[in-house]
Amino acid sequence: MNGADRLCDVLLANDIDVCFANPGTSEMHFVAALDRKPKMRCVLGLFEGVVTGAADGYGRMADKPAATLLHLGPGLANGLANLHNARRARTPMLNVVGDHATYHLQHDAPLTSDIASLARPMCHWYAETKTPEDIASTTAQAYVAAMTLPGVAVMTLPGDAAWGDLAPAPVERTPLPALPHVSADAIRDAVAALRSGKRVAMLMTGKALRTEGLTIAGRIAARTGLRLLTPQSINRIEHGIGRVPVDKVPYPVDQGVEHLADIDVLLMLGTQVPVAFFAYPGKPGRLIRDDCEVQTLARPGDDLVHALQWIADEVGAKEPPRLVQPGGLADALQPGALTADSVGYAVAKLLPEGAIVCDEAVSSGRKFFKLSENSAPHTYLQLTGGAIGVGIPMAAGAAVACPDRKVIGLQADGSGMYTVQGLWTQARENLDVVTVVFANRSYAILHGEMRNVGVNQFGRNAARMLNLDEPFLDWVTMARGMGVEGGRAETMEDFEKLLRAALGRRGPFLIEAVI
């Protein structure tokens, strides 16, 4: 056996059995080793942004890392934007970056580059493998990092480490340390705040947004008046009827400030202080009041659910939480031309129970999260890091992780073009994904931002940079070219018919909603 075989063994021993891949010459021994492991499912992306975006969606839904296989520095570079999103989401992910044989680096061959410098900004953990003997421990450490930090681990695999001979040896599952509990001091401070009469909110993420965490948080809220918040961008939440409702911090700065204006104490549960996505002249960077007290209740790798239960016990929160009740989407779909809001309403209303929503609708989707509180119970994933182009791959990865659940991608058109190649992976793997493209045919968010900087009339250059017209993108045709069926809707009647049909079948389907 060789180093690449050992790498596969350590992955499989830790139940990492999906590898999203785009290999190159330096990874041929790894490909050959994967080929000897039928338990490993290798999923090809036709661009590395598809590979890493799919691994993000997979990791969020599977609660364990997928492996990725990336080809040297440039292959990693192509995947970095979606690693950035995964880093912000703290998605468990184990990226294997092939590199030249160690002794070949001195020659500065054409594909040589500084992998460490490229990787470090976009990952939580990085290590370079040097020899075949290193591989087992490096891979195990990468797995532990991915699971416990939690987050994005990157390791290199030089050609000579991959092809170097090793004696066969048994590989055990790598033990994971228990998640750290938060300190008694942190709990005491939080409980004191909750009893102080001050207006307290908790900004939640990670496991706190699953059903168990939300239920405990909802009980604390029912007992103490605690306000439950999520960041502007949510890595994953259990959402819809029967779940505990939470408020999402709005994206526009002014709305964000207003939303958080009455908070005296903010408890950070695995999150950071909410800030403006971008700076604007004369507007604040932090969205909370300057005199708002910030308590770091838990850090991202801590046991968030344990912290919630501890607080619930301290405050005697035994009441049932307030849950979302049915009936919030009673209005009939309105016939006629489509708008972003009417499409969002139709999706929220028709969303099947158990669906996974992958939201990269950007400016077209601002109202969806609140609306879908009233949808059938579902899981909601969102673009987290602001690096557009995660939607189509994330939906693919979520569908690989959960083959029995319907995945609904809410996709802005400008963002969708970044990793449009992901549609082919949806077709190749026959993934059960319905992609709804909000075809506003512009970078609509930037039209608003131009108005924010005082430009209301566009000249030729601004129009040429901010509009996706001349020619329009024909999404249905592009999708067909990659093996995904679809249809275009210009009215609600069209859209409802297409969406019902797509929900009633299995396999990938794309609806271009012209808004």
Q: Which of residues 352-411 bind its own copies (CB under 8 A)?
A: 384-387, 389
Q: Which is nearer to its own copies, 211 or 421 (CB)?
A: 421
Q: Is residue 298 within a helix (H) or strand (E), and if so which, with residue range? A: strand 293-298
Q: Which is nearer to its own copies, 41 or 497 (CB)?
A: 41
417 binds its own copies per the rule CB under 8 A: yes
Q: Is residue 163 within a helix (H) or strand (E), and if so which, with residue range? A: helix 159-163
Q: Which is nearer to its own copies, 32 or 179 (CB)?
A: 32
What are the tokens at 200? 């307290």
414 binds its own copies per the rule CB under 8 A: yes
CB of 475 to its own copies, least distance (A): 7
What's the CA gap between 125 and 117, in Å, rounded?
Answer: 13
CB of 21 to its own copies, least distance (A): 5
CB of 72 to its own copies, least distance (A): 8
CB of 435 to its own copies, least distance (A): 14
What's the CA gap between 309 and 212, in Å, rounded?
Answer: 10
131 binds its own copies per the rule CB under 8 A: no
Write the binding mask 42 to 71 for its own copies: x where contact by CB under 8 A, - elsewhere: xxx-xx-x-------------------x--
Q: Which of residues 429-488 bind its own copies (CB under 8 A)?
A: 443, 445-446, 449-450, 452-455, 458-462, 464-466, 468, 470-483
What's the CA gap between 395 and 433, in Å, rounded?
Answer: 7
Write the binding mask 224 to 263 for its own copies: x where contact by CB under 8 A, - elsewhere: --------xx------------------------------
Q: Which is nearer to its own copies, 185 or 290 (CB)?
A: 290
Backbone angles phi, psi at 111, to 5 degrees: -90, 5
Stretch near its own copies under the rule CB under 8 A, chosen from 35-43, 195-203, 321-329, 370-378: 35-43
Q: Which is nearer to its own copies, 418 or 495 (CB)?
A: 418
| From candidates 18, 21, 94, 510, binder to its own copies by CB under 8 A | 21
Q: Which is nearer to its own copies, 280 or 354 (CB)?
A: 280
Contact between 374 and 329 under an 8 Å Cβ cutoff? The reply is yes
Helix ranges (H only) for 316-456 are: 340-350, 368-372, 391-401, 413-416, 422-428, 444-452
CB of 90 to its own copies, least distance (A): 13
Helices (H) and strands (E) in the chain, counts: 20, 18
CB of 137 to its own copies, least distance (A): 24
Q: Which is nearer to its own copies, 122 or 515 (CB)?
A: 122
Secondary structure in 3-state letters for 241-295: CCCCCCEECCCCHHHHHHHCCCCCEEEEECCCCCECCCCCCCCCCECCCCCCEEE
Q: Which of residues 68-127 bind its own copies (CB under 8 A)?
A: 69, 73-75, 77-78, 80-81, 84, 88, 100-101, 103-104, 106-111, 113-114, 117-118, 120-122
What's the CA gap between 424 and 441, in Å, rounded?
Answer: 22
What's the CA gap between 9 and 471, in Å, rounded?
Answer: 50
CB of 83 to its own copies, least distance (A): 8
Q: Which is nearer to its own copies, 14 or 232 (CB)?
A: 232
Alpha carbon distances (Å) from 438 to 54, 389, 403, 488: 21, 14, 25, 11
Q: Which is nearer to its own copies, 38 or 327 (CB)?
A: 38
| From candidates 23, 213, 344, 365, binder to its own copies by CB under 8 A | 23
| From candidates 5, 7, 26, 216, binder to its own copies by CB under 8 A | 26
Residue type, 439: A
CB of 288 to its own copies, least distance (A): 12
Q: How many residues does the chain have?
A: 515
- Compute the C-alpha angle 277/278/284, nearest 5°: 95
What's the CA gap between 125 and 146, in Å, rounded?
Answer: 8
Q: Which is nearer to its own copies, 21 or 305 (CB)?
A: 21
DSSP 66-88: EEEEEEHHHHHHHHHHHHHHHHH
